[in-house]
Amino acid sequence: MKRMLAFISAILLFLGIDLVVAPKTASQTASKSEVVHVGILQMMTHPALDQIHHGVVAGLKEEGFTTGKNLKIDFLNAQGDQSNLKTMSQQLANKDSLLVGIATPAAQALANSAPKTTPIILAGISTPAASGLVKSEERPGGNITGTSGLNPVSKQFALLHAIMPRAKKIGIIYTSSDHGGQTNAHAFAQVVKQAGLIPKMYTIANTNDLQQVANQMVSQVDAIYAPQDNGVASAMKTLVNVANNANIPVFPCAETMMPDGGLASYVISQREMGRLAGVMAAKVLRGKKPAIYPVATVKNGYYMINEKEMRKLHIKIPAAIVRAASQHGKVIK
Amino acid sequence: MNLITSSIGQGLLWALLGLALFLTFRILNFPDMTVEGTFPLGAAITVTAITKGASPLMATFLGFLGGAAGGLITGLLYTKGNIPILLAGILVMTGCLSVNLRIMGGSNVSLLGQKTFFSAKIFQSLPRYFDSVLIGGGTIILITILIALFLETDLGQAFIVTGDNQMMARSLGINTDNMTILGLTLSNGLVGLAGALIAQNNGYADANMGIGIIVIALASIIIGEVVFGYLTLNQRLIAVILGSIIYRFVLLIVLQLGFSTNDLNLISAIILAICLMLPKLRHALKLDGILRKGVSQNGK
């Protein structure tokens, strides 16, 4: 009991002191040295997110901010545990003069913890405006800007349609709790609908459901689209196995999903998106205002095709696409 | 300085979860997995209600009710449906995921720019992080007093007896089924409330925000018990709150020491394991002391 009272009074005493002296110490932390401190908060370890992270560092370096010289990066990874995001983002907000958030919850936590004067750069957030992070993507209006990771769905659909002109029903599968997957899937469905075809949506709660849902799906569709979805990406092999047994091709949206058995895709590089965010971060560090710095999207992607899958499924890919993939993109042999 | 204040604030907010689990885990004596579903449920309801224009107070109350409903279902499954408690909790937790997605209409809803408890004007003039200290502290004091008063009543005493000894409780004419349902409803209501407050503090609700929270709640209970030793029931409630604050301090220290965050889960697991083993370790150490004494006496 004594120990308890001592602990409580210690806390109260501390809070009392902090209440009195805090305004003075707050201004102290803002003092700048030659080394710029940048904090990066990543939601979890995942191939796509890791690539964004590497891209951010590369982009900063490109603009003259090198770690060890004039840049110190504080990197925290929440490992998917959102209960720690708040503590981590406060930790970063406290010591860094610029923050980078990778994946939506991480960016939201940063936006909430950081003072309105600290710039925040988004990297790989599918819908910054819909997630409430910026007012509009053209004119963010606050201390937040960055790159958006929306997939080029119309180009991806055009590719699918060029390869399979007779496909009527397009299956789209995503994890119901994955924000990115959901956004991407619905955007693609919209494009499919506009083209006069039928999108058929399938959701899984986690990767354990994939086998069964995919089996159901292949009996009802002519082609499958796999969006930017952590769950589907990690169980891509399962999806491809089921689909190939039914002679149905899978069109993934991310480069990391292609080697696992995607037939063809038009992808933007995650690393490139991160690099762009890194460049933006550097420009903001040099004084550009996030409020009037539009959210950037990576426009130029490239074709990827998988020749193994072409042979397996006896599908011909138009010569123009094969040429584009071998010249500017990637061909998996 | 700032970070310690922030840890205290976080500890106070998360303590609600510890108190909720204390009711089921320590008093009723069973592990309730429902919390990993009702926590995001409370968050989802509150955040959705706020974005639809409800006042923060109203929205938070709805979050509490949502959590309570989840607990009620677990209680009914356990008592009337004869489903083992662990399984009943897991079933409701699993079901909650779909319910949460329905409520939010997606997997993530943001609160940025909306009115919450934490955006109130009074906090703008205070130093940083005092908003969570005051809201967390105020809520936790109120809830602790309410729980303490409840446990003093006849109903509360019957509730305690149910956890201590079901057979005896039944022989005293206590309807143990009703007590269990009551406990689960109350506890999960508090979990929903915790979800509601933490979502407002974080600025968003996310379908995956319940993952791993049962560990946080257990940590506050166990750390509180180990650090503060033998206590009366009311003091144990306070110990849970302080345990929650200490757990945040430990996390802060681990982060400050620059450990890789990949190891964070392992480190908190190790800390918890050490706390759980501490009574045993103490015993072993005391034995060591006696042995040493014995050896030195023989040496004389």
Residue of A nearest to B125 (CA): A23
Q: How far is B3 from chain A (nearest CA, A)?
A: 7
- Give the model's pLDDT for residue B297: 53
Of A131, A226, A130, nearest in space to A172 by CA? A226
Q: Which H helix or E strand runs over B110?
A: strand B108-110
- Give the model's pLDDT for residue B299: 44
* CB-CB under 8 Å, B204 with A105: yes
Set of chain B residues whose Cβ sits within 8 Å of the Cβ of A109: 202-204
From the list A1, A15, A112, the residue facing B202 with the nearest CB is A112
Please tell me if residue A77 touches chain B, with a CB cutoff of 8 Å: yes
Please tell me if residue A182 touches chain B, with a CB cutoff of 8 Å: yes
Mutation target for B interface from A7, A82, A117: give the one with most B CBs within 10 A: A82
Report d(CA B47, CA B51) in Å as an integer. Answer: 6
* CB-CB under 8 Å, B231 with A86: no
- Give the model's pLDDT for residue B188: 97
Report d(CA B170, CA A229) in Å as an integer. Answer: 52
Report d(CA B67, CA B51) in Å as an integer. Answer: 19
Q: Which H helix or E strand runs over B272?
A: helix B264-299
Q: Where are the alpha helices (DSSP H) in chain A?
A: 2-29, 47-62, 85-95, 104-113, 153-163, 179-194, 210-218, 230-234, 236-245, 270-285, 307-313, 319-328
Average pLDDT for B266-285: 80
Work out how many CB contacts closer than 8 A connect A with B.
Answer: 153
- Give the model's pLDDT for residue A28: 41
Report d(CA B139, CA B194) in Å as an integer. Answer: 10
Please tell me if residue A277 touches chain B, with a CB cutoff of 8 Å: no
Name the residue with higher pLDDT: B184 or A80: B184
What is the maximum span of chain B, computed from C-alpha positions, in angstroms? Answer: 81
Average pLDDT for A218-227: 94
Please report, in angstroms and rounded to a whole number, the separation of the first and last CA atoms in chain B: 54
Most confident segment among A229-238, B162-171, B264-273, B287-296: B162-171
Question: What one-letter code names the amino acid at A195?
Answer: A
Encode pLDDT of B60-93 as tens digits: 999 999 999 999 999 999 999 999 999 999 999 9
Encode pLDDT of B137-159 as tens digits: 999 999 999 999 999 999 999 99
What pLDDT band is residue A328 in, cutting at 50, 70 and 90? confident
DSSP structural state of residue A208:
G
Name the residue with higher pLDDT: B111 or A294: A294
Set of chain A residues whose Cβ sits within 8 Å of the Cβ of B113: 132
Do residues B35 and B20 lie in contact, with contact meaning Cβ atoms separated by under 8 Å?
yes
- Give the model's pLDDT for residue B107: 83
- Give the model's pLDDT for residue B270: 86
Mutation target for B interface from A8, A87, A209, A229: give the one with most B CBs within 10 A: A87
* CB-CB under 8 Å, A45 with B262: yes
* CB-CB under 8 Å, A14 with B8: yes
Q: Residue B186 pLDDT > 90, yes or no?
A: yes
Q: Write the Ramachandran bin of A264: left for phi over 0, alpha for psi from -120 to 50, otherwise beta.
A: beta
Encode pLDDT of A88-123 as tens digits: 998 899 889 999 999 888 999 999 888 888 999 999
What pLDDT band is residue B287 in, cutting at 50, 70 and 90? low
DSSP structural state of residue B208:
T
Encode pLDDT of A284-304 as tens digits: 999 999 999 999 988 778 999
Report the range of poorest mean pLDDT among A248-262, B106-120, B208-222.
B106-120
Q: Residue A237 pLDDT > 90, yes or no?
A: no
Count Cβ atoms below 10 Å from residue A213 Cβ, excluding itself.
Answer: 17
Set of chain A residues whose Cβ sits within 8 Å of the Cβ of B242: 4, 7-8
Encode pLDDT of B196-239 as tens digits: 999 999 888 988 888 888 888 988 999 998 888 888 999 999 99
Contacts of A171 (CB under 8 A, 6+ apart): A200, A202, A217, A218, A220, A221, A223, A224, A225, A248
- Give the model's pLDDT for residue A27: 44
- Give the model's pLDDT for residue B289: 62
* CB-CB under 8 Å, A18 with B212: no
Average pLDDT for A226-252: 90
CA angle B9, B13, B15 (to 5 degrees): 115
Average pLDDT for A137-166: 90
Q: Residue B117 pLDDT > 80, yes or no?
A: yes
Please tell me if residue A127 touches chain B, with a CB cutoff of 8 Å: no
Most confident segment among A45-54, A136-145, B190-199: B190-199
Report the range of poorest mean pLDDT among B27-41, B51-65, B128-142, B256-270.
B256-270
Report d(CA B77, CA B171) in Å as an integer. Answer: 24
Q: Residue B47 pLDDT > 90, yes or no?
A: yes
Encode pLDDT of A22-77 as tens digits: 664 444 444 445 789 999 999 888 888 899 999 999 999 999 999 888 999 999 99
* CB-CB under 8 Å, B110 with A108: yes
Name the residue with higher pLDDT: A101 or A81: A101
**CA A172 → CA A1, A102, B134, distances in Å?**
60, 25, 47
Q: Write the Ramachandran bin of A55: left for phi over 0, alpha for psi from -120 to 50, otherwise beta.
A: alpha
Q: Provide the whole-model pTM.
A: 0.80
Please, what is the average pLDDT of chain A? 88
Name the residue with higher pLDDT: B286 or A100: A100
Set of chain A residues whose Cβ sits within 8 Å of the Cβ of B98: 176, 205
Tokens 């909650």 sit on residue:
B96
Average pLDDT for A215-230: 91
- Give the model's pLDDT for residue B123: 81
Report the range of poorest mean pLDDT among A166-180, B34-48, B61-75.
A166-180
Report d(CA A140, CA A125) in Å as an integer. Answer: 14
* 3-state DSSP assignment of residue A99: strand
Backbone angles phi, psi at A226, to 5 degrees: -110, 110
Please report, in angstroms and rounded to a whole number, the separation of the first and last CA atoms in chain A: 71
Interface of A with B in 16-45 (CB under 8 A): 18-19, 21-23, 25-26, 29, 45
Question: What one-letter code names the amino acid at A73?
Answer: I
Mutation target for A interface from B103, B112, B233: give the one with most A CBs within 10 A: B112
Contacts of A43 (CB under 8 A, 6+ apart): A49, A77, A78, A80, A85, A102, A103, A104, A105, A106
Please tell me if residue A3 touches chain B, with a CB cutoff of 8 Å: yes
